[in-house]
Amino acid sequence: QGPQQRLLAVLVLVLLFGVMLVQYICPGRSECPVLHQLGSWFREPGRETQDSLLRDPYIAEDGALVRFVPRFNFSKADLNRVVDFNINGDDVIVFLHIQKTGGTTFGRHLVRNIKLERPCDCRAGQKKCTCYRPGKKETWLFSRFSTGWSCGLHADWTELTSCVPSRMDSVEVLENLSSRNYYYITILRDPVSRYLSEWRHVQRGATWKASLHVCDGRSPTLSELPSCYSGDDWSGCSLQEFMDCAYNLANNRQTRMLADLSLVGCYNVSAMSEEARWAVLLESAKRNLRSMAFFGLTEYQRKTQYLFERTFHLEFITPFTQVNGTRASSVEVPPKTQQRILQLNHWDLELYEYARDLFLQRFQVARQQERRQARERRQQERRRLRGRFTAKQRDLWDQDENATVDDYMDNVEQW
């Protein structure tokens, strides 16, 4: 037992000496490189990278570190949206607001939360804000909260592209007679959540009767677009009643509102079979979505903010927040009913998967470009500073310059 006791005593002395040494070297332990190095010896492989990813607000928003595998092949033009928006010129952002996608929240961000030389004038008790360009009495934003429902309540792509230019020209005459640049934007949402949210909204009395549904210069007749209810509204309707109406515009609403309806004879459903009609509408919606200056997703608030800021070179004052607890999320839906909702919104599901893929690919490309630009700026600064060093100092500098965390993260985030 004597040798074992002596060995134990030696280990205790070594431990005490080590503690004293660390305290001497690292009086401020939180920033001590020696402690960080010691900790790295005992940290499981990949843990440091995982910790770095968790600190990333854009990845943390999604709740999981699942590798994103793209399903669709998009062109460089699709992924790199080059938008030369000039708020001082004649450019106009047009917000296509689809019901129950979080568009009201996003619309308020546009008029209240953007850092502008001339902020929008939003007064208490007024539904609309005045969003003028610097030095001009001209608006740069066409949306519910700036120009009202000028082209009809929740106007769709078919209505807006036909109405907005003439509406703007009638209100504001261009001095140089040049054509305006219109940049269309929208927000999409998971189809099931959006559908349930619309049902709950209708159940509380919403009707959207003021919607015009103008296509090819006219609104649909009652026979082309019958009403789902006979009274003033559809208050108190059950989810089953909501699903049973064959004319319910809630079904595949996002696809219909983003497509060119004139391609299928507008609301005349006798022009072609239902399957062929929706196939044409889906392809049209995808095409229009790709050509839009920007679109965001309700489920990715921080990424939506990031891409909008990168696209339009405008900065929001406060960050977007992800709200997962909505009225739709609180609805308990039996599996059989869920399956029915999926069937009713089959085309919206295809559109959303397509949009989500494009959105996440655009985000990754933008982040990679941002890091590349930051790396180039660092390299330029290093070259500038390097010229001031001696030959020996430059050799030491070059050794330290070879690897950076940003370069590593650049590879990690190519999901």
Q: What positions carry a catalytic annotation? A: 154
Cα–Cα–Cα angle for 109, 65, 411, rounded to 5 degrees: 95
Question: SS in 3 state form for 349-390?
Answer: HHHHHHHHHHHHHHHHHHHHHHHHHHHHHHHHHHHHHHCCCC
CA diameter of the chain: 103
Q: Which residues pair with 187 in a beta bridge?
A: 296
The Cα–Cα gap between 340 and 345 comes to 9
Cβ–Cβ < 8 Å for 410, 402: no
Q: In whole angstroms, what is the distance from residue 362 CA to residue 307 CA?
A: 8
Alpha carbon distance 191, 278 (integer Å): 16
Beta bridge partners of 218: 215
Q: For residues 252 and 344, what is the distance between their CA atoms, to the nearest angstrom?
A: 7
Alpha-helix runs per DSSP H in 259-345: 274-291, 301-312, 335-344
Whether the Cβ atoms of residue 159 and residue 210 lie closer than 8 Å to each other: no
| 3-state secondary structure at position 72 | coil
**DSSP secondary structure string, 292-315?**
SSEEEETT-HHHHHHHHHHHHT-E
Of residues 354, 348, 335, the one with CA closest to residue 195: 348
Strands 114-115 and 315-316, bridge-based pairing: antiparallel
Phi-psi region of 266 (alpha: psi -120 to 50; beta: other; left: phi over 0): left
Question: Following CA atoms 382, 388, 394, 397 in sequence, which dihedral angle do they give, to the nearest 10 degrees?
Answer: -40
Residue at 207: amino acid letter: T
